[in-house]
A = this chain, B = another copy of it.
Amino acid sequence: MNKIIVQKYGGSSVADIDRVKKVAEKIVERAKEGNRVVVVVSAMGKTTDELIKMAGKITSSPNERELDMLISTGEQVSIALLTMAIHSLGREAISFTGMQAGIVTNAVHTKAKVTAINHKKLKSALEKGKIVIVAGFQGIDANGDITTLGRGGSDTTAIALAAQLEADGCEIYTDVDGVYTADPRIVRTARRIPVISYDEMAEMASLGARVMHYRAIDLARNYKVKILVKSSFVPGEGTLIKEVDPMLERVIVRGVTQEINVGKIVVQGVPDVPGVAYKLFKALAEEEIIVDMIIQSSHRNEINDIAFTVAISDFNKTIKITKRLAEKIGAEGVISEPEVAKVSIVGAGITSDPAIAARMFGALAKEGINIDMISTSGIRISCLISASRIEDAVRAIHKEFNLDKAGEEK
């Protein structure tokens, strides 16, 4: 049996008819090599945004089932056009909506989770030698309603299909040619990372390196789907995301990432009684506000400060909720700071080696950059700093760990 290759093309890869034709050529090439090819495709360019804008002209709070009904048309247009383009190159191909591809999800509209894939139709088409084109980002719930998968949805479709079909490869085509040691717009000498582990990639993704959504990476890790991230515009090796060989694991800094658009909030003079932090973060969670870094510090007897960060889009809402809570629990006051940013280093094992953190902090100190808050995970160290110094911070840290030099010890 020939290899099964799953490819995914994002919205920018099929932004207009000419790009659709180019993508068709790439797909046909891959099929000519003797592969059975399944392609997952997103809506063309800004189509989804435009559809949402139309809904916005009708109501500020569209029903989510209807919103899914609306925006799922974007991918349906893409699959039809891409399939026609493949036909015109003389190859057999067939398109499937999420529903037809058997992508079953839960009923949480606009951010549904894939629960099962009934790939009978899809496999039968592959066996007939057809290239299969599947609408990304969409599925169907048990009730037969169209659902969409939310952020990272098309990547999720591709990885779920690759897992279910036991594909030999899963290729994600996007507008960058792989994952970099830092944002090349900030660090001119940033290098493409040839191989990265799922865990490291998930941290990079959640820290603002927007190549893939961490949700899709989680799914790939769970099903051990190897992902090759490549550019759909320029040739290149891309970045392979896979499990690391634990025997070969060593401490290595993979990359530096930055996250701007962060806001910091401090609740001052919080009485040190159990349940106070719980009450605050529960109230925020109920409004679906994601809290990132949290630091609780004690500066006087039985009085604490609680500091935390949120996305700037949630900033004003968060301040309002926090002020209400602060009053209720008898805190002294709330101060906020919108102009902060987070710089992080990512790498398996880096937090187990204290020298790594020391070098990061030292690099920032040498640049005269103040560290406001620090948080770590098993494979990440993050520092909150002033937003105005974020680019200097990224460059300094990138240099400190010699990330511009391939193969050297870091």
Contact = CB atoms under 8 A, between A and B. Distances in A.
A80 B57 contact: no
A406 to B, nearest CB: 42
Interface string A19-58: 0110000000000000000000000000000010011011
Given A73-B73, A94-B65, A95-B66, A59 B88 contact: yes
A303 interface: no
B55 A81 contact: yes
Contacts of A377: none
- Assign chain A's interface to a size class: 35 or more
A63 B83 contact: yes
A217 interface: no
A77 B58 CA distance: 13
Contacts of A55: 80-81, 84
Contacts of A57: 17
A69 interface: yes
Contacts of A80: 55, 66-67, 69-70
Q: Please state the number of chain copies in the assembly.
A: 2
Contacts of A62: 84, 87
A81 B76 contact: no
Interface in A81-99: 81, 83-85, 87-88, 94-95, 97, 99
A36 B52 CA distance: 29
Contacts of A21: 58
A146 B146 CA distance: 15
Nearest to A69: B80
The SS class assigned to the A binding surface is: helix
A100 interface: yes
Contact of A51 (B69, B70, B77, B97): B77
A144 interface: yes
A79 interface: yes
Contacts of A121: 144
Nearest to A89: B59
Given A58-B17, A81-B55, A144-B121, A69 B87 contact: no
A110 B62 CA distance: 32
Interface in A179-231: none
Nearest to A65: B94
A66 B83 contact: yes
Interface string A137-170: 0000000111000000000000000000000000
Q: Which 7 A-B pairs have the closest CB atoms?
A: A70-B80, A73-B73, A69-B80, A59-B88, A17-B57, A66-B80, A58-B84
Given A20-B58, A62-B87, 13 more contacts: A54-B77, A55-B81, A59-B84, A66-B95, A69-B80, A69-B83, A70-B80, A73-B73, A73-B77, A76-B76, A99-B99, A100-B144, A100-B145
23 contacts: A20-B58, A54-B81, A55-B84, A58-B88, A59-B84, A59-B85, A62-B87, A63-B84, A66-B83, A66-B84, A67-B80, A67-B84, A69-B95, A70-B76, A70-B77, A70-B80, A72-B76, A73-B73, A76-B76, A99-B99, A100-B144, A100-B145, A121-B144
